[in-house]
Every structure is written in structure tokens, then in C-alpha cells.
Structure 1
Amino acid sequence: MKLPFCKYHGAGNDFIIIDNLSGQHHLSENQISALCHRRYGIGADGLMLLEHAEAPWSYAMGFFNSDGTRGTMCGNGGRCLVAFADHLGIENHYFKAIDGTHQGFLLERKDNYSKVQLRLNDVHGIRHYQKDSYVVDTGSMHLVRFVPDVKAVDIATEGPYWRHHRDFGKQGVNVNFVEILDEGCLFVRTFERGVEDETWACGTGSTAAAIAALEHTGKELNHWHIQTKGGNLEVSYKKKNTVFTDVFLTGGAVRIFEGVVEI
């Protein structure tokens, strides 16, 4: 079967995206894993299906990890999906994902580049885990660890250790190592479950880091600039008691190429 696809990235976090509004494509876990393989496939951190949804949604987001398993919410993936839907001519980006409803906004569009702002769900509280460490659920569960020098972290060792730590049960956790560069500015590196490796950026991880930074620094900042290995993101929110509302993730979404693959 010939399968048309597009390849996108958001701050180096890359995805295969397939138009499945017709519902004709049904991919197995093995097929998705093969497509995401960086040696034998297209190569990606994950795969998304743009799917039909009943009103009031414009469409639905089906997200899969690079190992073929169905994933939890992916922030950069959601932004790339909005850019892909816009490329297909869809104007309203009120869509359904595994963790509920999201809305995307096209702030800029030029050639293959789009600047997309994505509204994430409210975040209900932060759990202090250990010294300089917090657990935050931003649609995916994240451990945020503040470190003095993020570039010095041996993420190939530290990432799997915390990702599979018994404190986080069978499902495990995504792991973010965060350095505070300046007031309102963070550098974030993320080891993602389902990818089982460091990704060049993680949207929900960057959001978790920005929310945890408020608690960690004690400064009432509601807008953070995030540096990652693959590019820059912005996170903003409002805090009311222990709830974070109006949570937005903003950054570039780039259409790299499109093609047809035989599966």
C-alpha cells in the first residue's frame, strides 16, 4: 500500500504526519515503529494521524510514539499538526486529543515555516518530588530536575534511570533536566518515554519545566523563554491558587518534506 505523508519538526522534535480524515489508514504498532526508524524508515520522534472528529471539533489528533505505542499528549506534535491542517486548508484548529480539547493559532506563516501557538489544558498543581525535582502533568507526566549545568548531564545514563524509576510505576515518566540561564529563561533537555532517547525538544516537557520553575525560583513570572537542542520555544500561563490556566506553548513548526512510502 502506498501511504502519502508529510514530515514536520517543531524545534527539532520531528514527526511523520498522515492525512487520515477519510479514516482509510489503519497502521499497526510494527508499521509505525518501522516508519519512525531512523535507519530503515522515514525517521521521526513520533507519528500523527489527522483524523475526523464530530462537531464541535475540527479534527482529532492521533499520536503515536516512535516505538509504535499510542502516546499521551505531545505539545510540539500538536503544533505541527495545526500547521499541517492549515496547509490542507483547514482554518479552525479546535481539535480533540487524548487528554481533551486543544486550540491552535497560526501567528505567522511564510513558505514552509509556521509560528504556532497551542493552548494546553489546565495544570492542577505541582508535586515536589525531591530536592530540586518536581512532578508536573501537562497532558503527559513529567519529572523536572533543576541542575547547575544541563550540558554536563549524562542523559544516556540519567534519563533511563529516572524514566524507569519505581516511584513512577509501570508506565514510567518523561525526564527533563533544566538549567536556569537567566530570569525567565531556561535550557531544557528531555529524555522521552516511547522514544527511549533524548529528543531535541519536548513541548509538554518545556511547559512542565516553566511551571516547575515558578515554584523552584519563587518568582512570579508567567512567561518563559525555553532553549532546547533543536530551537526555541515560549511558554506562558496564569496561576490561580494551585491551578495553572491559559497555558500556551508557542514556537515554529516547519514542513521539511512530503512523499509517498510503501508499507
Structure 2
Amino acid sequence: MTRPFLKMNGLGNDFVVIETRSGPFDPTADEVRAIADRKTGVGCDQLIVIGKSEADADARVRFWNADGEEVSACGNGTRCVGWLLMQSTGKDEAVIDTQAGRLVATRAGERLVSVDMGPPRLDWQEIPLASAHDTAALDVALFHHADLMAPPGCVSMGNPHVVFFVPDVAQAPVELAGPAVETHPLFPEHVNVGFAQILERDRIRLRVWERGAGLTKACGTGACAALVAASRRDLVGRHATMVLDGGELFIEWREDGHVIMTGPAAVDFAGELP
């Protein structure tokens, strides 16, 4: 039996998307890694499975990183799923249940989708950290490099993030520090590692080393986390355009505490898994 899939991307952060009307799909870690492999599989940063919600949502969605680990949240992936669901229902809104909670996607233009990612989690236990620390300005040296000496901020957007503020992202040791910080013992569930350069009060250049996926062209929850971390330090206001390797996202941390992410969704091709 073969199973159809769609290859999608949000700013180059790419996904294999499977829906389960043709039967349940609960992949093993080995199967996820085989699908995600860019040489012998389809190739993707994350695998996404869309299922029927047991509640009153439009769908229940699960996410796996390329290393085979299931994760609670994926911002760019949620945007792609939201676009698919709105295309299939003809509505301008899609309600999506995830392990990180209920998310609502709305149309924001031609192939543009906004997702209410909910409020950030800022307490050290919610991120989680292994011990109590100030998450606005972490007092722990995670990686010894001149550009990474300013205290980073920690935020959970349904998945854990640490954000370093650097003078020049192009010179930051992303591929050296990323994997080292990802598995630092301070983060019991490992962590996504952001490197943010403040360009203006409403513009941030960002690169993200994603746990279980490595350096990606864009990270939606990483963009949300970076905006929140920067705003907490008064480096920016409550909204900013995030400039990622794959393009731009607009992030707003509303006064009601919710973080709204707006950006494109794209379908690359359709295929079948053996």
C-alpha cells in the first residue's frame, strides 16, 4: 500500500505532510528518519501528520523532527497545515489541535496565513530548564565565544528556545554553537538555538539551529521566541519583521499576551510513500 503526501514549505523550512483519511499513520523514529533523509528519502526538516480531531477542531496535527523525535509545535508547519485546511473547507479560519495546545490559523492574503501561537511560556519550569534562572537574561555561559557573551533569553512557544543577541549574524558561530547548546545539560528536553541581530526597532535578522533538524532556512516558533526575547529586553517593541534565510515573517506579541505569526505557505509537489 502506498500513501500520498504533499511536500510543502514555509520560507524554505520544508515538510512532508500526510493526512490519515486513508488509514492511521503512526511512524517509528526509523521511518521518520527514512522519509526525512535528503539522499535516500523524500527529504524534509519535519514530518507532519494531519488527523481527525476528537474535539471541535478542524484537525489534530502531529510533528516529527528529521531525527525521528516527535515534538509539540512547529510554527511554519502549522501555517502550511492551516492553509491546506482552509483550502479544503473554503473557510477563512482553521482550528488546529497540537500537543502544544489549540492553534487558530486565518487567511491573511494570497497564500499568506496568520497563526495565533498563543502566549509564550516564560517561567524556567515551563521552558523547561534544569534549574531556576532568570529567563529574560540567562546568567549561564552556554558557549564560549566573544559574540555570545551577552546573556541570552529563554522562551517556550510550545517548544524550548534560547536566543542569543549577536552583533552580526553572518559572523556568528551558528554551526559550532548550535549543536553544542542544543544538548547543553541546562535543557533537559534539548533546545532550539536562535542567533538574532537587531537591525532596527521593528526588524530582526535571525538564524535558528533547530533541535533534531539542524540549521534550517526558517523557524516559525524560533521567530516568535526571538521577538518575545528581544521585546522583554526592550531591544524592540511588540512587533517586528523577522528576516530569516528563507524570507520574512511578521511577528506581533499582542497586548493580550498572544503571539501572532504571519507568513507564506507553499506547496512544492505531491507524491506517494511506499
**What TM-score, normalized by structure 2, do the two folds share?**
0.87
Structure 2 Cα separation of the partners of residues 135 and 190 of structure 1? 14
What are structure 1's unaligned runs of at least 5 residues?
none
Provide the residue aligned with 2:270 in structure 1. Answer: 258
Give the deviation of 1:183 after TM superposition. Answer: 1.8
* Structure 2 residue 159 is the aligned partner of structure 1 residue 140: yes
Cα deviations across residues 204-261 of structure 1 (Å, max 9, x unaligned)? 1110000111122355x22110000011101001246xxxx13101100011111112
After superposing on structure 2, the runs of 4+ consecutive aligned residues of structure 1 that deviate more than 6 Å are none
3-state SS of paired residue (1:84):
helix
Say whether the 8 Å CA contact 1:14–1:44 is kept in structure 2: yes
Q: Percent identity between the aligned chains?
A: 30
Among 115, 118, 131, the residue aligned to 2:115: 118
Give the deviation of 1:117 after TM superposition. Answer: 0.4
Among 221, 242, 247, the residue aligned to 1:204: 221
* Structure 2 residue 125 is the aligned partner of structure 1 residue 107: no
Say whether the 8 Å CA contact 1:119–1:249 is kept in structure 2: yes
Once the two structures are superposed, the pairs formed by residues 157-196 of structure 1 within 5 Å of their partners are: 157-169=176-188, 171-195=189-213
Among 242, 245, 250, the residue aligned to 1:229: 245
Say whether the 8 Å CA contact 2:33–2:67 is kept in structure 1: yes
Q: What code does the residue aligned with 1:95 have?
A: I
Say whether the 8 Å CA contact 1:132–1:216 is kept in structure 2: no
Structure 2 Cα separation of the partners of residues 34 and 87 of structure 1? 29
Give the deviation of 1:46 after TM superposition. Answer: 0.4
Say whether the 8 Å CA contact 1:71–1:194 is kept in structure 2: no
Provide the residue aligned with 1:20 in structure 2. Answer: 20
Structure 1 Cα separation of the partners of residues 37 and 122 of structure 2? 36
Give the deviation of 1:23 after TM superposition. Answer: 4.1
Higher strand share: 1
Structure 2 Cα separation of the partners of residues 153 and 35 of structure 1? 31
C-alpha RMSD over aligned residues: 1.6
3-state SS of paired residue (2:44):
coil
Query: For the structure 1 residues 182 and 218, does the alpha-carbon distance in structure 2 shift closer, same or farther, using more than 3 Å as the test?
Result: closer
3-state SS of paired residue (1:211):
helix
Provide the residue aligned with 1:52 in structure 2. Answer: 52
Cα deviations across residues 57-90 of structure 1 (Å, max 9, x unaligned)? 1111111111122112111110011122233336
Say whether the 8 Å CA contact 1:47–1:65 is kept in structure 2: yes
Say whether the 8 Å CA contact 1:144–1:175 is kept in structure 2: yes
Say whether the 8 Å CA contact 1:23–1:51 is kept in structure 2: no
Greater shift in the superposed pair: 20-29 or 115-124: 20-29
Q: What code does the residue aligned with 2:273 have?
A: V
Structure 2 Cα separation of the partners of residues 10 and 184 of structure 1? 21
Greater shift in the superposed pair: 118-127 or 58-67: 118-127
Q: How many residue pairs were aligned?
A: 251
**What TM-score, normalized by structure 1, do the two folds share?**
0.90
Say whether the 8 Å CA contact 1:150–1:189 is kept in structure 2: yes
Greater shift in the superposed pair: 13-22 or 176-185: 13-22
Provide the residue aligned with 1:154 in structure 2. Answer: 173
Cα deviations across residues 125-145 of structure 1 (Å, max 9, x unaligned)? 371214331111111110000
3-state SS of paired residue (2:258):
strand
Say whether the 8 Å CA contact 1:223–1:235 is kept in structure 2: yes
Provide the residue aligned with 1:61 in structure 2. Answer: 61
* Structure 2 residue 239 is the aligned partner of structure 1 residue 238: no
What are structure 2's unaligned runs of at least 5 residues?
124-134, 140-149
